[in-house]
Structure 1
């Protein structure tokens, strides 16, 4: 009964935060979804090989949402394929369906995959939905909540030794690879070979189907889009934004992070509950291209650690991060700037490394709790 009071208060706090975030938003509505749907409409009417024709994308965006901000479509083709079924609806209706689907998928994944029981489970779920990044991603119509949902499901399946299904769930990474690119590498060094093989087979199947649908010219258009200059303003939440890391300095930092993920994944190979969030945080740190909405993956990683690590040291760190990301601060303009969030990722990453290399203390207790 003594623990019931704090849990109830925590639940009230996270519910209040989520309600506040849902009720008061200042984001441009559906701007990313407009771009996805523009590409899908081009694919359906002009052929999928043309979805990276940015002139056509701009025209379609204007037709779908007159006066809205225009931006190029540089997402993987899988994103356009995913939203294409919604083209049968009027665009505003399609956006609402998409927003409910993405938010609901992430929420349902955590609710079903959680380890906690009772009210504590809902504190974790609602708490992970409350940081400003989540509703921001939903409001702009981002695909990243679906990536987060897939990783959460894969995380639980991996803990339960259902590695093949876990690998298939990790296929959600293909919707936005830059946000979780190190997860397959972590599976390799954590000796989760069946999960890695299942992910590889899923990725190969998706890539073959994508190549068949796009055709050679469409594939080359995508490759050229990736090799060309990217839109500005997408490096605030990266090492460049936080540390002004460019050139050799950035390459060295990213190499060190990748090596650290490999070594720590091997050390924590008996604790998949910590390997996946380690890889997610590492991915966010090495990615050269991120937006604020991509921090949904940071919320997913934090939720995984919260569930796997009930020790007070971990939960204190995560609670501090939650307060900083909560709408209580964000809506007052007091939340950290985008360029400061990588510092939180660095702190969390270092804590994860300590849990891998340190003794079996409060920071490293996951090795005796999480099933293989």
Structure 2
């Protein structure tokens, strides 16, 4: 046997090589087990014949000595050494690994991906803590009623105390606003112009007072965000939480929370509608989608896109739900309430802040901007028809992005709805290169908007074009 080869000693059997028979185990002439335990530095284990196998790292030197070294390259190593009678501490191997440490140049792609995801998660958590503190916590702590939900609370109070036909009465709104916030200015931005169902929803929360209703609504909004994430966010495993952290860290989402806006509730409703459509329940999906009339401008073009994409059952249920709510609203507010409501809507159309994040910022208010918004609507219909065999996720994303681009009444917090579009867009497995577009929109919504809304408008326009182009070999999905 070569001197540098490791030697495996086996227990001798009767009649082999003329050697002496092995003594019975436990007999006085049976020191072999103990000797092997000494050689290995430990007491041998078990009472099996395999106990005669020496540690594979032990070899015999030319001078009949023994040396502990590495096993031969390619030599088999027992998966469970204890199962064949070998006991080793592994102290040498462990200490060697500790001395070697982690070599970043030897990490594989999966390890780098996990490290990157962990680093991104920590960054997003810090961003949520810092931005959330200054954008949400500090303003609401200073004045818990300085938000848009207070206006809805005023509408609910007027309806309960004065009758729902007076819910859009400007003098009554002014009076109650002054009672709640005596030091605030009742300007053209302090109006309750939401549809009556929003005030109806807030009636149960009015028992907590204006401040308590705000806190309860914030809790509902966060729960709605988590629900939407659970239903619609792509990915699997712990890295899926990055989509939730990214949504919470985005400035439009946090700003919407500071105003106690219903945008996150609309995100949850649209996510539930999409999931029901995926489950083959189009009528249920349409009913849920119809509840989004509490803030209709966030999903205004989605029914049109669904219709041209062949999802007519969803649209039929949506139309029935909206018609029912509209009829109930009209019956409750009456003719005078309708006239007051239309007057408030006309006033809102002339407020420059309400169109700052629309195409009117680029083209100016007037016929040119209306023409551009009409082109967006027509393009959305064409894109929906071209993608009629696409997945429900893609169709919903087309409708949401087209709504954001073609809106006539839009604010920074309304971009919150794009987080659902991003989740559904990514579920459709787009090319990885298109992630840069989402990143650009996210950065524009985070940093560029105080200077100009142009970057985020350009990003949304580019996203709409990408979504509108049908994908090659698009997987077929059963239309609703």
- TM > 0.5 fold call: yes
Cα distance in structure 1, aligned partners of 2:217 and 2:408:
27
Output aligned runs, 1:1-372, within 5 Å. 1-2=110-111, 3-25=113-135, 30-70=146-186, 71-228=190-347, 230=349, 231-241=351-361, 243-270=362-389, 271-326=391-446, 330=447, 337-354=452-469, 356=470, 360=472, 367-368=474-475
Q: Unmatched 5+ residue regions in structure 1?
A: none
Where 2:353 maps in the other structure, the secondary structure is: coil
Contact 2:253 2:416 in 1 (8 A): yes
Contact 2:305 2:399 in 1 (8 A): yes
Give CA-to-partner distance per residue, 1:16-73, whole Å, 9 cap, x none: 3222222222657542111111111001100011111111112212222332353111
TM-score after normalising by structure 1: 0.88
Contact 2:360 2:369 in 1 (8 A): yes
Cα distance in structure 1, aligned partners of 2:276 and 2:364:
36
TM-score after normalising by structure 2: 0.69
Superposition RMSD on alpha carbons, in Å?
Answer: 2.3
Cα distance in structure 1, aligned partners of 2:220 and 2:429:
29
Where 2:372 maps in the other structure, the secondary structure is: helix
Contact 1:183 1:280 in 2 (8 A): yes
Cα distance in structure 2, aligned partners of 1:304 and 1:67:
44
Q: CA deviation at 1:369?
A: 8.2
Query: What's 2:29 paired with?
Result: none
Q: When you count helix as a share of all residues, which structure comes out higher?
A: 1
Cα distance in structure 2, aligned partners of 1:349 and 1:112:
23
Give CA-to-partner distance per residue, 1:109-131, whole Å, 9 cap, x none: 22233342112321112212221
Cα distance in structure 2, aligned partners of 1:221 and 1:340:
37
Where 2:475 maps in the other structure, the secondary structure is: helix
Cα distance in structure 1, aligned partners of 2:385 and 2:157:
45
Give CA-to-partner distance per residue, 1:320-354, whole Å, 9 cap, x none: 3224434xxx4xx8866335422221121122123
Q: CA deviation at 1:234?
A: 1.2
Contact 2:449 2:456 in 1 (8 A): no
Larger Rg: 2
Runs of 4+ in 1 over 6 A off after TM superposition: none
Measured at CA, do residues 334 and 283 of structure 1 come closer, stay the same or move farther in structure 2, by a change above 3 Å?
Answer: closer
Cα distance in structure 2, aligned partners of 1:90 and 1:295:
29
Q: CA deviation at 1:236?
A: 0.8
Where 1:283 maps in the other structure, the secondary structure is: helix
Cα distance in structure 2, aligned partners of 1:351 and 1:211:
40
Query: What's 2:28 paired with?
Result: none
Cα distance in structure 2, aligned partners of 1:371 and 1:310:
20
Number of residue pairs the alignment of both structures matches: 358
